[in-house]
Structure 1
Amino acid sequence: MSRSLLAPSLLTLGLLAALPTFAQSHAGHDMTAHAPPADATPAADVDHSKMDHSKMDHGAMDHSTMDHGAMDHSTMGHGTPAPTQPREPIPAPTDADRAAAFPPIAHGAMEHPPEIHSLLLIDRLEHWDGKNGNGQAWEASGWIGGNINRLWLRTDGERSEGRTESSGVEALYGRAISPWWDVLVGVRQDFRPADSRTWAAIGIQGLAPYKFESSATLYAGSGGQLMAKAEIEYDVLLTNRLILQPLLEATVASKDEPEHGIGRGLNKVEAGLRLRYEFNRRFAPYIGISHERAFGDTADYAGDHARDTRWVAGIRMWF
């Protein structure tokens, strides 16, 4: 027999000999369990919305072969939905609840006694030297009271060649009419070497726009004399401690009084420039220059003293 016919015969005999062994190894398995039932729905037609996934054994599922892109997750029930209403609704607050939460406050329990504050500012305490001589000058103000009502005290004066040329003291009631302005009403007492004079005073003072410190006061004296005095000054901060202060002051009278050296109209104008150094906010020495000029009849009464330029040096402090 040829070798080509012998090879197929030997292969057929090998398969027949292995068949009983294969059948014996699978004799304990029910192969019908793996076959789908006759009335089973094809996989493509399975309605997952009707399946109870909570009873499925997800550990035995092979998720690597599942097509998650084709699954409709909107119809899957992944658990019990959260309740929209509390199990025990919160009752609406009653008047008794509000009364217990906010008990009535006894009258006067939250009232505080008015606080009393005070301030003394010596704005200028200086020595001056001009072409008509030398001397000293001062200007100071202070107050005591609360935020609205205060008692103001103001004083100013000048000495020349050891002689007091002018001095005055004012006592005024001040009331705040805005966060930046006070109205003042009171009296002024002038002291002179020859005589003294009492004035009724009314005025206003405060901080004008752009931080200009301003004051204007009208005085009514005996004999029907009226005088008005206005002052404005401004602080220019060159550094945190070095401050330049320009000042302008003017005085006007309603009638002539030769015995007091007062002429009608514009009496006197003073312009000054002072540079101070604040070692602290309460104490500051300064140097500067001041120019005074009298006008009209007041200049005639003053004679050679109608105009003067002075060098000044002094201190500014407050308590």
Structure 2
Amino acid sequence: MYGKSLLLSVVLLPGIALAGHAEDDWPEPVKEYYTGQVLFDRLELTRTSDEENLAVWDMMAWYGGNYHRVVFKSEGQNIQDDGAPTDLESAELLYSYLVSPFWSFQAGVGTRGELSSDSSMENYAVVSMMGLAPYWFEMDNSLMINEEGDIQFVSETEYEWQLTQTSYLQPRVELTANLTDSDEYQRQSGLSNIRVGLRYRHEISREFAPYVGVYWSSALGNTADHIKSIGQDTTETGFVLGARIWF
């Protein structure tokens, strides 16, 4: 979750055309058909304030009709040249149902963890509401419950400010809250993390748009207290260079 105005219009807006269908026995003006799309909203290299280089991805793929779709989402990162495995932040397979012209309800299963042979992945169930809030704020709100009953809430909000026909300024906010403690995954209850970013994107074509940006991230509450207790920084800033790609 999403800088996904174009994708959201394709995912959500077809329901508007169907909303005007007056009588049940009238023929549909356009037959429902199945199609799909793959979007890499973030495919980037990051330089952090800790002088680490990260390769980051944030993608979504879907296939289906106007109301019912199968959706796959994935986010993750890899710290370059440190020998550590890739960190899979999420990989989710979801059923998506259009509940209104601008919102879809999604439910399914996911997994996350380090992609190494000796790591134990965290499996969870997830429910989400994805769509366009008033004033065209793009939102993806997810509630996750793992096999131990630990509950986490993640909210992602983006807004696209169109500067020219082909360039955009995009602020982005991600907020994470743990509704329960988790000793196994070292998560403390309460607001956990906030990340604020800003990207400038220029479209070479509709399908390929490179961007540059910055971000600031901070641990919050009990999570920040725990990080301080082990002598680590609670904040991070970074510079990003990447591209938004869809097909």
TM interval, short-chain normalised = 0.7 to 0.9
Q: Distance in 1 between matches of 2:74 and 2:192?
A: 20
For 1:206, the equivalent position in structure 2 comes to 131
Which of 235, 240, 243 does residue 307 from structure 1 map onto? 235
Which of 119, 140, 145 does residue 64 from structure 2 map onto? 145
Q: How does 1:167-186 map to 2 (within 5 A)?
A: 167-186=89-108
Which of 121, 127, 134 does residue 45 from structure 2 map onto? 127
Percent identity between the aligned chains?
A: 33
Task: Note if contact 1:231-1:249 (Cα within 8 Å) is conserved in structure 2.
Answer: yes
**CA deviation after TM superposition for structure 1 residue 258, in Å:** 4.0
Structure 1, unaligned runs of 5 or more: 1-106
Task: Note if contact 1:285-1:316 (Cα within 8 Å) is conserved in structure 2.
Answer: yes
**CA deviation after TM superposition for structure 1 residue 191, in Å:** 2.8
Task: Note if contact 1:261-1:298 (Cα within 8 Å) is conserved in structure 2.
Answer: no
Q: How does 1:218-233 map to 2 (within 5 A)?
A: 218-233=143-158
- Deviation track 1:14-56 (CA, whole Å, cap 9, x = no partner) reads xxxxxxxxxxxxxxxxxxxxxxxxxxxxxxxxxxxxxxxxxxx
Secondary structure at the aligned position of 1:210 is classed as: helix
TM-score by length of 2: 0.80
Q: Distance in 2 between matches of 1:203 and 1:114?
A: 25
TM-score by length of 1: 0.63
Q: Distance in 2 between matches of 1:291 and 1:185?
A: 30
Q: Distance in 1 between matches of 2:58 and 2:111?
A: 15
Task: Note if contact 2:45-2:53 (Cα within 8 Å) is conserved in structure 1.
Answer: yes
Secondary structure at the aligned position of 1:223 is classed as: coil
Task: Note if contact 1:287-1:313 (Cα within 8 Å) is conserved in structure 2.
Answer: yes
Secondary structure at the aligned position of 1:250 is classed as: strand
**CA deviation after TM superposition for structure 1 residue 110, in Å:** 7.8
For 2:200, the equivalent position in structure 1 comes to 275
Q: Which has the larger radius of gyration?
A: 1
Q: Distance in 2 between matches of 1:112 and 1:308?
A: 50
Q: Distance in 2 between matches of 1:205 and 1:134?
A: 31
Higher relative contact order (CA 8 A, sep 6+): 2
- Deviation track 1:150-202 (CA, whole Å, cap 9, x = no partner) reads 00110001222443234321000000011111000101111325320111111
**CA deviation after TM superposition for structure 1 residue 301, in Å:** 4.5
Q: Distance in 2 between matches of 1:161 and 1:298?
A: 26
Q: Distance in 2 between matches of 1:165 and 1:200?
A: 19
**CA deviation after TM superposition for structure 1 residue 256, in Å:** 2.2
Structure 2, unaligned runs of 5 or more: 1-24
Secondary structure at the aligned position of 2:164 is classed as: coil
**CA deviation after TM superposition for structure 1 residue 203, in Å:** 1.2
Q: Residue 103 of structure 2 aligns to which amino acid in structure 1?
A: W
- Deviation track 1:40-76 (CA, whole Å, cap 9, x = no partner) reads xxxxxxxxxxxxxxxxxxxxxxxxxxxxxxxxxxxxx
| Inter-CA distance 161–180: structure 2 relative to 1 (3 Å threshold) | same
Q: Residue 142 of structure 2 aligns to which amino acid in structure 1?
A: T
Q: Distance in 1 between matches of 2:30 and 2:179?
A: 47
Q: Distance in 2 between matches of 1:126 and 1:258?
A: 32
For 2:75, the equivalent position in structure 1 comes to 156
Task: Kindly indicate which of the two structures has a greater share of residues assigned to helix.
Answer: 1
**CA deviation after TM superposition for structure 1 residue 128, in Å:** 0.6
